[in-house]
Structure 1
Amino acid sequence: MLTWVFSTIVTGLLTLLAFQRMFYPYFWDDLNYYLKLRKVGAAVKSRMKSGVITYLDCFVHQARTTPGKSFIVFESQVLTYEDVDLRSNKFANVFKNEGGLKQGDIVALLMSNEPDFICVWFGLCKLGCEVAFLNFNIKSKSFLHCFQSCGAKTLVVGSDLVSCREEVLSSLRDNGIDLWVTDSSSTVKGLHTLLDKVEKASGEAQPPMATTPAKLMSNFLFIFTSGTTGLPKAARVSHIKAVMCMGFLRLCGARAGDNIYVTLPLYHMSASLLGIGGCIELGATCVLKKKFSASQFWTDCQKHKVTVFQYIGELCRYLLNQPKTEAETTHGVRIAAGSGLRADVWKEFAKRFGKIQIREAYGLTEASIGFLNYTNEIGPIGRAGYFNKRNLPFDLLRCDPSTYEPIRTESGRCVRANKGETGILVAPVSAMNPFLGYAGNKEMSEKKLLRNVFREGDVYFNTGDLMLQDHRDFVYFRDRIGDTFRWKGENVATTEVSEILGGLDFVQDVNVYGVAVPGYEGKAGMAALVLKPDMELDGKRLYNHLVQNLPAYAWPWFLRLEVKTHVIHYIIQCMPVTLP
């Protein structure tokens, strides 16, 4: 009898297992990831009970828990968690005593990747200031727009960026903006020096500010994004968003003993919140690079014993274009985490550089919707199984192919896209997934929201991204809608480029859009120009105009000239550069 019962149970389990493998092959992957998410969430709740609530709280807690652990490795410098804590205290005291900064003040930060980016940022956070990260590639007009839109009254600029910003700095100084430079001396009038004062400053910590769970819903940072149109927008990043980002590397499989290589710019969320924040959450070491170098990448990985690195799709393609070296297969890297990796590059990368787990992800600066491909499937950005949708709900909506507006029924409700059908990715706005909007741009903030989507009164955030969920529940990124495209890891607003080109006296009309280039991630810029009657294209002036007004990634690489009855297409020949 017992033998019969035992054999029946075994047969039933084997049948169930066969059924699962046939119809739900990723069940265990989905469940394991869901349990990981729950574990990370439980750890956050446990920290909150002891008063460790915000991103800064997590850093201070880590500095007290593992003070002697290496936190930042940069060139020949090594700073422990305690070193960064102490130095950020000094910056806080200088800003408070010399600059009069206080809780609630907004401070813009224009710095390259370096340890003091983090020390200045944390020092300002310790005063309760809200920091705005500025992209150091943008030119004067966009720079001034960004600075003004976030409402900052103070700017901290890196010493290496002063010489190329003197004109803008003079303009800000004349308008009463308080200017600081991370240097011991400066020849620029009106620029307060920091490093000489920091060396003499006290390392005493600021009195702790009251932190409550309610504070998680308030603004922590401003990070600029091109959004879907126009000049860059100051996206408000909530404290809860920043804390959620800190778990990313752990979910990718990183551990406390890892050396994590960060070469992406710190003014982006990927490096500052996912990368630096991920290291803090783990108690790991960040190997910080001033600027990505394809030729030095694997040598750096060997030198610093890198085990995890962050990527964007372009970075991986650059590595594949490098000549083969011994270091590219004798490194100790086991995980690469990032986004934007094309399937063909993914396959070649995995084949060439050894057994590195690729963890492709998708996320947004403005909202907390995100995906992570925790399987070995090449191509998708993540999965949309039952467990994942319980944790981070989202929907794909059918849209009009000409306007990309969501299709609504006669009752005014939106329609969900079917599996295998491309739709707009939207996510419900809630206390755990807030959208704080763009600073100084209420109209654009409202445009990102969809109301009465499935029922009266509901509110969804419109990502502006087209996605597809296949019949196996894998999610694929398809395209970005709106007046924007992505090139060299940056978002390019077509209206901004059009406005700049329209400033040339020989241009009558201009239209800018992105075009796919075989073998390249994202889209390159194409500018369709109509010249004024009796005027010719001046390539040299065009090139100089672009250099002065736009970062290189925003330049149109192709021109489409409409000349009377025919159209001329060609790559801009006047530029002393080629597609990478």
Structure 2
Amino acid sequence: MLPIDGNSSQTNMLVWVVLAVVVLLGLLFRFPYFFQDVRYVFKKLKLRRLILKHMQTNYTILDRFTDAVKTHPHKPFVHFKDETFTYRDADKLGNKVARVFLQSGQVREGDTVAMFLANEPMFLWLWLGLAKIGCSVALLNYNIRSRSLLHCFSCSGAKTLVAAAELRDAVEEVLPSLLEQQVRVYILADRSDTSGVESFKDKMSQASSEPLSKDLRSHVTLQSPAVYIYTSGTTGLPKAAVLTQAKLWGMSWLQLSSGVNSKDVIYVSLPLYHSSGFLGFTGAIERGITLALRSKFSASQFWDDCRKYNVTVIQYIGETVRYLCNTPQKLNDRSHKVRLAIGNGIRADVWRNFISRFGNIEIREFYGATEGNFALMNYSGKIGAIGRDTFLHKKFFPYAVIKYNIEKEEPVRDSSGFCTEAAKGEPGLLVTAISVRTPFYGYARNLQQTEKKKLHNVFKKGDLYFNTGDLVRIDEDNFVYFQDRVGDTFRWKGENVATTEVADVIALADCIKEANVYGVQVPGQEGRAGMAAVSLRDGQKFDSADVFKHIQNFLPAYARPRFMRIQSSLDVTGTFKLLKVKLVEEGFDPNLITDPLYFLDEKEKNYIPLTQDIFSGLTSGKIKI
């Protein structure tokens, strides 16, 4: 054997280093996102292990909050208008809320309480207080009314309702039904003159703010429901998606995954009843940071708020970013401390415009359904993408993009009955594996709708997948792009609109026999605007003013169809399912449609004939909707 001297050993080492560098450079050239992909998956695996650790000790988001109170009691927790509440303030106010419910004698550990209010600090104190006594909370959309309000309240299983004072009329409209069900109703006021409605704030002001025993929630585990958040999903009426304590942890780590640190201040102007807004709140708890809360999004006040509260992180949905870009340009557009934006639904052109105008803000576009068991994040900064498709990610968090028949509204299956994956560049249905590690909790008190979201025997007999209801496309570089929603739901103004629910309301108008509701694309707008093809009752004419008044009374603004198409009869399949594909393709173009068309005019408070001039105004952007 030849002797190995020191110089030879160093030479060999140098050769190996050079080879390693060459291989590394080649790897980076061939797979430029390799290390980002690996780091993302490892981070998700680390968070999965952390959830398992929390499960062993039943450590919840509330426990994280109480630890934060001990660690930095005087740190600002919430800025709202001209008020600031510290972590200790929030803790004491939560204790007061908890005692009001305990003293009522009706609310106990394991119960569900429904909250019906807009963004305000009281929303946060209510959730904290109810969590302290082991209760889950149903977050009702404050836009809903009448039958929808009763439906959403009932499907949560709640027996107590807490509503904002400004929503008193909406509560009183359904009060007889609530009292019939022996529901206890509170209004956030110092007094109530309505029989069957109790005041809340006076009781809260008299309650003790002393700490409560953890024994009051001793039976809460990470498998216990923490929150019910309503989603139209893709299968009709609003449903209460179940967020367990474990799922709430997973979703609250969005800020951590996006790069939020303990010194950040996050601005939340999205509704707290939505998962995005609510997770801005719980994510702030997880990070131990300050939350700047606004009652409602305002494009004109957005950057002034960011400057006022020294905001460094903002949340968005696609529409809010577009609204910001559409405001008049100002000299101080880049005068702010915002470094990071977290959200979903931003169009590529709006993305470019946003960073060009407001500065090099890092955008973390993510994908995930409230009730889903899977999430994607655009960690590479690729404009327009929602994430990346990688072998490693798919290995540990199984998912697939399968061929989908839009006309039949079902996955394409081969002769063996199994699904096939969509080709690169081909839009397909995103489905995610359901397992012990990636569970799907479904909807409260709605087994039928829970089952409708499951796909059996997708690639082999016995497997089980969650149907996201979303069409996505994977390009040649493995970036994933959102394409559209399928089924009965479309998005408009940041809300999911359930076509079945809207059609049911329209059909109650005196002159209308049937309604087929769908979403149509409008140039320059995110999502799809609502349109209804309707047939009239025998001998009736289209009473546009009456239909407008009816729709205004029973549907929130975002769900009101912008267009009406009057047909002699509605086209159906052999199984009497309404056909929509051709209607969607034709949209509201009077050049393609001979049926009478109408446009919702808010100023006239009427549906007016859709003329060629109105059509041109809508497609050019001169007429706003």
The alignment's TM-score, normalised by the length of structure 2, stands at 0.88
What residue in structure 2 maps to residue 139 of structure 1? 145
User: 1:538/1:487 Cα in 2 relative to 1: closer, same or farther (>3 Å)?
Assistant: same
What residue in structure 2 maps to residue 181 of structure 1? 187
**Secondary structure of the structure 1 residue equivalent to 2:595:** strand
Whether the aligned pair in 1 keeps the contact of 2:156 and 2:445 (CA below 8 Å) is: yes
Q: Letter of the 2:509 partner, please give it.
A: L
Q: Of 472, 493, 508, which residue of structure 1 is paired with 2:477? A: 472
User: 1:43/1:211 Cα in 2 relative to 1: closer, same or farther (>3 Å)?
Assistant: farther
Whether the aligned pair in 1 keeps the contact of 2:146 and 2:170 (CA below 8 Å) is: no
Which is worse superposed, 476-485 or 559-568? 559-568
**Secondary structure of the structure 1 residue equivalent to 2:307:** helix
Matched, 1:545 2:550: yes
User: 1:390/1:79 Cα in 2 relative to 1: closer, same or farther (>3 Å)?
Assistant: farther
Whether the aligned pair in 2 keeps the contact of 1:52 and 1:61 (CA below 8 Å) is: no
What residue in structure 2 maps to residue 571 of structure 1? 599
The alignment's TM-score, normalised by the length of structure 1, stands at 0.94
Q: Of 528, 531, 537, which residue of structure 2 is paired with 1:526? A: 531
Q: Of 184, 200, 221, which residue of structure 2 is paired with 1:215? A: 221
What residue in structure 2 maps to residue 21 of structure 1? 28
Matched, 1:419 2:424: yes
Which is worse superposed, 364-373 or 407-416? 407-416
**Matching of residues 283-432 of structure 1 within 5 Å:** 283-432=288-437
What residue in structure 2 maps to residue 443 of structure 1? 448
User: Runs of 5+ in structure 1 lacking a partner?
Assistant: none
Structure 2 distance, partners of 1:460, 1:214, is 28
What residue in structure 1 maps to residue 167 of structure 2? 161
Structure 1 distance, partners of 2:155, 2:15, is 69
Matched, 1:203 2:209: yes
**Secondary structure of the structure 2 residue equivalent to 1:142:** helix
Structure 1 distance, partners of 2:565, 2:352, is 34
Structure 2 distance, partners of 1:263, 1:149, is 27
Structure 1 distance, partners of 2:218, 2:208, is 28
**Matching of residues 436-515 of structure 1 within 5 Å:** 436-515=441-520
Whether the aligned pair in 2 keeps the contact of 1:398 and 1:406 (CA below 8 Å) is: yes
Matched, 1:172 2:211: no
Q: Letter of the 2:63 partner, please give it.
A: D
User: 1:178/1:213 Cα in 2 relative to 1: closer, same or farther (>3 Å)?
Assistant: closer
Q: Letter of the 1:148 partner, please give it.
A: S
What residue in structure 2 maps to residue 130 of structure 1? 136
User: Runs of 5+ in structure 2 lacking a partner?
Assistant: 1-7, 570-592, 606-622
Which is worse superposed, 566-575 or 232-241? 566-575
Deviation at 1:214, TM superposition (A): 9.4
Deviation at 1:376, TM superposition (A): 1.9
Deviation at 1:542, TM superposition (A): 1.3
Structure 2 distance, partners of 1:432, 1:84, is 34
Structure 2 distance, partners of 1:169, 1:150, is 17
Deviation at 1:387, TM superposition (A): 3.5
User: 1:127/1:563 Cα in 2 relative to 1: closer, same or farther (>3 Å)?
Assistant: same
Q: Letter of the 1:567 partner, please give it.
A: D
Structure 1 distance, partners of 2:58, 2:604, is 52
Q: Letter of the 1:282 partner, please give it.
A: R
Q: Letter of the 1:315 partner, please give it.
A: T
What residue in structure 1 maps to residue 72 of structure 2? 66
User: 1:47/1:446 Cα in 2 relative to 1: closer, same or farther (>3 Å)?
Assistant: closer
Whether the aligned pair in 2 keeps the contact of 1:393 and 1:427 (CA below 8 Å) is: yes
**Secondary structure of the structure 1 residue equivalent to 2:530:** strand
**Secondary structure of the structure 2 residue equivalent to 1:250:** helix
Aligned residues: 578
Structure 2 distance, partners of 1:3, 1:175, is 83
Deviation at 1:239, TM superposition (A): 1.5
Q: Deviations over 1:32-82 (max 9, x none)?
A: 323433454555566666x46222222222222222211111111111111
Q: Deviations over 1:391-446 (max 9, x none)?
A: 43211122234223223333333222233222211112123322222223211111
Structure 1 distance, partners of 2:450, 2:461, is 20
Structure 1 distance, partners of 2:348, 2:97, is 45
Whether the aligned pair in 2 keeps the contact of 1:52 and 1:58 (CA below 8 Å) is: no
Whether the aligned pair in 2 keeps the contact of 1:241 and 1:367 (CA below 8 Å) is: no
**Secondary structure of the structure 2 residue equivalent to 1:30:** helix
Which is worse superposed, 425-434 or 84-93? 425-434
**Secondary structure of the structure 2 residue equivalent to 1:328:** coil
**Secondary structure of the structure 2 residue equivalent to 1:276:** helix
Larger CA Rg, structure 1 vs 2: 2
User: 1:309/1:213 Cα in 2 relative to 1: closer, same or farther (>3 Å)?
Assistant: farther
**Secondary structure of the structure 2 residue equivalent to 1:364:** coil
Which is worse superposed, 543-552 or 227-236? 227-236
Structure 1 distance, partners of 2:155, 2:624, is 33
User: 1:218/1:489 Cα in 2 relative to 1: closer, same or farther (>3 Å)?
Assistant: same
Whether the aligned pair in 2 keeps the contact of 1:259 and 1:284 (CA below 8 Å) is: yes
Which is worse superposed, 431-440 or 300-309? 431-440
What residue in structure 2 maps to residue 248 of structure 1? 254
Of all paired residues, the percent bearing the same amino acid is 44
Deviation at 1:16, TM superposition (A): 1.5
Whether the aligned pair in 2 keeps the contact of 1:367 and 1:433 (CA below 8 Å) is: no
**Secondary structure of the structure 2 residue equivalent to 1:330:** coil
Deviation at 1:6, TM superposition (A): 5.0
Instruction: Please give the root-mean-square deviation of Cα atoms over the aligned residues, in Å.
Output: 2.2
Q: Deviations over 1:543-576 (max 9, x none)?
A: 1111110000001111222369941234224655
